[in-house]
Amino acid sequence: MPLSLNRRLAVGAALLSAVAGVVPATAAHAAPAARPAEAAAAPVAAQNSPDLDAVLQALKNTTAAGAPGAMARLTGPEGVKTRTAGVRNRTLGTPMSTKARFRIGSVTKTFSAITLLQLVDEGKIQLDAPVNRYLPGLLPDDRITVRHLLTHRSGLADYTEAMFAKTVPGFEAVRKRVFTYQELVNLSLKEPRTTEPGAAYKYSNTNFVVVGMLIEKATGNKVAKEYERRIITPLGLKNTSYVHPSTKIKGSYIRGYLHPDEAGAPLVDSTEQTLSWGQSAGAMISNPADLNTFMSALLGGKLLRAPMLSAMLTMTPTDATNTRFYGLGLRRYDLTCGTSVYGHTGTVQGYYTYAFATRDGGRSLAAMANTSNRGQANTALGGTLEAAFCGKKPAPAAKARGLVTALPAEADLPERNSR
């Protein structure tokens, strides 16, 4: 869960998944005015059909930008469509596959948010209660609420900023290490707070580490068990798992490759790691079909009752473009064609992931590139969103409006630009 550019594309804003901004605050404790969830979504049949040629071109652009391979799987009224480019194993030259598993980084945050919101719905946790009510003494400020964690407005520093300040040495130092949640929180608390609670959006993996702690405290179970019984089993996600701290990916999988900070240095195979530094913020494994099912089910109301889903979809801006928003563990991107898509990005060593769907869940996209610390590749992969959800459109019209065909990548972990 490394889901940046210029030393950091933005993280502080799974590693984990594309440049996070800040909403100015008018009061230290007041949440900014939230944009409510859209009351109704356009029927998916009325939306543009995907431009599959443009999807493939986005994948080719991604490999040209330094990813060994890239892929996309789309679902909608037209059925399932897939496109691939490059390889999933550089040593063997194995072609990229849309059926193989990979590390999904910060898409894990959406699993964690759903689990926590189900607990809210069950009356076990209150969104606007202080975190310290449930985890006494954990945080230095009783004003930090559960909602602040889910919206990245707690002000808790992202410990991955220091952990991965030097990309490859930082990764190798934690590749086999097993952390406790408390150790990760302690790393965050060594750093200065980034904002007053509720004041501004500032992406931090620390928030969802604490979410994991809340889930385990409220249920008495490990997060793996709660993901399994609340999401994975009900949806039949046979290729999705949370295996921390195991380093293995079972079955057919894609190898991940990390770009060093030094120009021209060889890629580092980062496939095997505990991902203990990420845990409930970014340690899950999945494949494109499961991600399509997951996002469509969420937006289709199969995982949360209407009030909780509405809360999750109540968004506030994350940057000055007013095209990117964050709700409760969920992103929204407003595309150039007027379509809004909901989901999450994921960045973890060796993998970039995009998992998004339309508001009604009727059309979805799962896209992945097997590299990281390569902002150009992340941005290129983001081009699959426009191609998948906007379809064919005249380029001059987009140019005239000053629009772009790919959103600048918004990273979930600190990254250096490849120089």
What dihedral do alpha carbons 151, 154, 160, 162 form, nearest 10°?
Answer: 150
For residue 3, what are the contacts with CB-CB under 8 A and spacing of at least 6? 14, 15, 16, 17, 18, 105, 106, 107, 109, 282, 344, 345, 346, 347, 348, 352, 353, 411, 412, 413
Separation of alpha carbons 54 and 44, rounded Å: 20
- Among 4, 17, 97, 106, the active-site one is 106
CB 274 within 8 A of CB 176: yes
Separation of alpha carbons 23 and 28, rounded Å: 12
Cβ of 198: how many Cβ atoms within 10 Å?
Answer: 21
For residue 60, what are the contacts with CB-CB under 8 A and spacing of at least 6? 70, 85
| Chain CA centroid to CA 419, Å | 25
Per DSSP, 415 falls in state -
E-strand ranges in 116-255 read: 241-242
Beta bridge partners of 224: none
Which of 80, 95, 101 lies closest to 292, judged by CA?
80
106 is an active site residue: yes
* Beta strand pairing call for 371-372 and 257-258: parallel
CB 206 within 8 A of CB 188: yes
CB 11 within 8 A of CB 20: yes
Separation of alpha carbons 282 and 277, rounded Å: 9
- Over its C-alpha atoms, the chain yields an Rg (Å, rounded) of 19
Of how many residues is the chain composed? 419
Place of tokens 């590693």: 15
Sheet with 102-103, side-by-side order of all strands: 102-103, 284-286, 241-242
Sheet with 257-258, side-by-side order of all strands: 268-269, 257-258, 371-372
* Beta strand pairing call for 69-76 and 257-258: unpaired
Report, as residue numbers or ranges, the catalytic residues. Answer: 106
